[in-house]
Amino acid sequence: MSGSTRVKRVSIEGNIAVGKSTFARLLQSSCSDWEVVAEPVSKWQNVENNASKSTDSPPQTTVSNLLQMMYQDPQRWSYTFQTYSCMSRLRTQLQLPSAHLLGSEAAPVQVYERSIYSDRSSPQKCMERLRRRGRHEENEVKLDYLDKLHVKHERWLVEKSTEIHFDKLKKVPVLLLDAGVEFQSDPEVQEQFITKVKNFLDAL
């Protein structure tokens, strides 16, 4: 078995501001053979404008901060953002694991922020954390939007009622963690989470 095929790949999934980045940092600090691949937010905030310079075509809207544009005008930019963010995640996941992971003698794990771990928390708690982190693109996010996303995640990861068109994806194991607790500042809860993750990974 080659180094790249024995590296386990898992993803952290959950609502906006549920605590994915915080949990990812916790995982990386817990084991030298766990490597986190962060969500490429900076790419969404600074999109290069590749519009055609042809004089025959009408001027195009300059796309710079696509994340902000999506929140400000979701009807116009949601599809564009979802397509771009999906492709940027795909490019990230197609990259080879680091030399450190490939050379590990233990059980190396690559953790992706999104893409199936599940951080689970109430929309109200997510809204609190969203306001606390102060990402200016998210100023227009309403609780109703987080409620809808919460329902989608519950149907997908908990109820398993979302229609999935690939048989292998239907059998992907999921670990549910209660991210409603303030695990960032509670070492005891952190230890409990890490133990659950280790047991989950050992069973894969």
Q: Which residues are catalytic?
A: 113
The answer to whether 18 is annotated as binding is yes
Q: Are 174 and 154 in contact (CB under 8 A)?
A: no
Q: Are 113 and 37 in contact (CB under 8 A)?
A: yes
DSSP 102: H
Q: Which positions ≥6 away from 122 have C-beta within 8 Å?
A: 150, 180
The answer to whether 71 is annotated as binding is yes
Beta strands per DSSP E along 63-164: 109-113, 117-120
The answer to whether 145 is annotated as binding is no
The answer to whether 131 is annotated as binding is yes
The residue count of the chain comes to 204
At 20, list the tokens.
């994915």
The answer to whether 79 is annotated as binding is no
The answer to whether 50 is annotated as binding is no
The answer to whether 125 is annotated as binding is no
Q: Which residues are annotated as a binding site for substrate?
A: 39, 71, 82, 114, 119, 138
Q: Which residues are annotated as a binding site for ATP?
A: 14-22, 129-133
Q: Which residues are annotated as a binding site?
A: 14-22, 39, 71, 82, 114, 119, 129-133, 138
